[in-house]
Each structure stands twice: as structure tokens, then as C-alpha cells.
């Protein structure tokens, strides 16, 4: 496979990954059992700031993009901008559409939505990461702190940034007038699952879906 075809494939994988990730976040919101740490921060911000989620997502990520461009541009690529401009609006559309289809979901339906969302976000992440055309602005922050500033191993820095997001998300959510009893809708079992189980599932999809797709059948047969 020539370089041009490989690059086009990587672009397609990045686009697929971002779109699928956005859809999964919309399903997470319908499940209302907690979202990943960065989305919990965005949910708190969304509850407080009276503008559409899509626009708010672009603004928040533009701030993080500025940080990355100032300190280390290495992690910024085409996929970063696809993520920045598409994910928020697709998430908003998915959530609003699902609200018209899944009305007052039972706990069982919410749990099923959560399971679907976890699988989809892991599949999306596998394609997004394997394409290797840049990372999201949020991912770039932890990478810059750990690799450029030598402030510790990535996994520990990521735990710290995730904790900051969760705390800020809860604080902003409460500041918007929401009650403490509503916090589990943005910080709950879904947050725990994404924190501890996404890694192995992403690797599963890397091995069985994303890498084989990028390499192609012929390349795999030659291995």
C-alpha cells in the first residue's frame, strides 16, 4: 500500500474515531450514570454556562489548544482539529436526538446505554489512536506535563488531571444550582468504568480491529 493510500486511511480512521466518540458521549449523557473525567468537567461547565454544548466544547478546547501550541506543538495534528470542531456538536445532536427516542429510560435501559457507550468509546479511541494524527487537546495537556516538563509518569499525571476535571465538574455543577443528588448523573459508575476498564478494551480493539484495518489483509497475511 502506497503512502498516499495509507495517509488517506489514517484520516478516515481519525474522522471515524472522532464521530463515534462523539456519539458515545451522547449515549453516556442519556444513560446519566456518569461520564469520563473530561466530559464530567464539560457537563459541569455546560450546566453553568448558557450556551450550546457544541460551542462550549469548541471554546474550552481552544483554550487547551492554546496551551499545547505554546508549550509543545508535537502532539497537535489533524485529528486534534477534527476533534475540536466536530465532537461537541455531534455529541449535542446525538443527545438531543436520543432524548426524542428514549424518553424517561428505566434503570435497565440506562445500564444498557452505558454498556453500549463504553464499547463505542473504546472502539473509537482505538481507531483514533492507531491513526496517529494528533491527540485531543485534553490528552495533550497530560502528555506535555509528563514529557516536556518532566513532572512524572504519564499515567500519574493523567490521574491528577482527571481528578482535577472531576472536582471542577462537580463544583461547576453545584454552582449552577443543581443538587448534590444529581451529581451521579455526571460523576458515577460510568466515570469509574472509563477510568479503570477503558485501557484493556481499547487495546483489544487495537489488536483486533484498528491495526488490522490500517495494515490491510495482505499485510497481515505476510506477517
As a whole number, mean pLDDT of residues 194-217 equals: 87
pTM for this predicted structure: 0.85
The predicted pLDDT at position 217 comes to 57
Cβ atoms < 10 Å from Cβ of 35: 28
As a whole number, mean pLDDT of residues 99-113 equals: 95
Q: Is the pLDDT of residue 199 over 90?
A: no
Long-range contacts from 4-9, C-beta under 8 angstroms, 24+ separation:
6/214, 9/213, 9/214
Mean pLDDT lowest for which of 62-66, 152-156, 200-204?
152-156
Distance separating alpha carbons of residues 94 and 68, to the nearest angstrom: 29
**Confidence label for 221 from pLDDT (cuts 50, 70 and 90):** very low
What are the residue boundaries of the structural domains of the chain, listed by start? 3-217
As a whole number, mean pLDDT of residues 200-214 equals: 91
Amino acid at each position: 500500500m502506497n503512502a498516499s493510500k495509507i495517509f488517506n486511511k489514517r484520516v478516515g480512521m481519525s474522522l471515524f474515531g472522532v464521530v463515534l466518540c462523539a456519539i458515545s458521549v451522547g449515549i453516556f449523557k442519556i444513560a446519566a450514570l456518569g461520564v469520563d473525567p473530561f466530559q464530567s468537567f464539560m457537563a459541569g461547565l455546560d450546566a453553568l454556562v448558557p450556551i450550546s454544548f457544541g460551542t462550549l466544547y469548541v471554546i474550552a478546547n481552544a483554550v487547551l489548544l492554546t496551551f499545547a501550541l505554546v508549550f509543545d506543538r508535537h502532539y497537535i495534528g489533524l485529528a486534534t482539529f477534527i476533534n475540536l470542531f466536530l465532537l461537541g456538536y455531534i455529541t449535542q445532536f446525538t443527545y438531543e436526538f436520543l432524548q426524542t427516542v428514549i424518553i424517561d429510560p428505566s434503570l435497565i435501559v440506562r445500564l444498557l446505554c452505558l454498556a453500549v457507550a463504553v464499547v463505542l468509546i473504546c472502539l473509537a479511541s482505538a481507531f483514533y489512536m492507531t491513526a496517529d494524527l494528533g491527540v485531543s487537546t485534553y490528552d495533550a495537556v497530560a502528555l506535555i506535563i509528563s514529557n516536556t516538563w518532566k513532572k512524572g509518569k504519564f499515567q500519574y499525571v493523567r490521574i491528577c488531571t482527571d481528578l482535577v476535571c472531576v472536582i471542577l465538574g462537580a463544583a461547576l455543577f453545584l454552582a449552577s444550582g443543581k443538587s448534590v443528588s444529581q451529581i451521579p448523573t455526571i460523576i458515577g459508575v460510568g466515570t469509574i468504568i472509563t477510568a479503570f476498564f477503558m485501557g484493556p478494551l481499547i487495546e483489544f480493539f487495537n489488536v483486533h480491529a484498528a491495526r488490522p484495518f490500517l495494515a490491510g489483509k495482505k499485510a497481515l497475511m505476510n506477517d
